[in-house]
Amino acid sequence: MPRAKIPYDAIRSKLRSMFPEPAYRFIRLRIPDRYNKIKAPTTIYDRTSGNFQTIGYRCDVVYEIFTGFSSDLRAEYSQVRKKILVEI
């Protein structure tokens, strides 16, 4: 069975809508290449019906989330790395 093509552009645009600015910033989809050990996004299927319909993709994502203001009124962000389901 041939391998399905992963729609990276659709995943990135969905991530931008899921994590809006300024509460989140630097949203990045981690994709595999020959130098890292990241796995490709996993396709998640709906198995309730007889035909395996695609729900979305489980992806590695890195982003920064707003945590508050410092004493000199600069915005502070903390970096988060997690696997999430991106529904397409």
- This prediction's pTM: 0.84
What number of other Cβ atoms are within 10 A of residue 39's Cβ?
13
Residue 82's contacts (CB-CB under 8 Å, 6 or more residues apart) are: 60, 61
Residue 31 pLDDT more than 50? yes
What percent of the chain has pLDDT above 90?
72
Residue 61 pLDDT more than 90? yes
For the chain, what are the domain ranges? 8-87
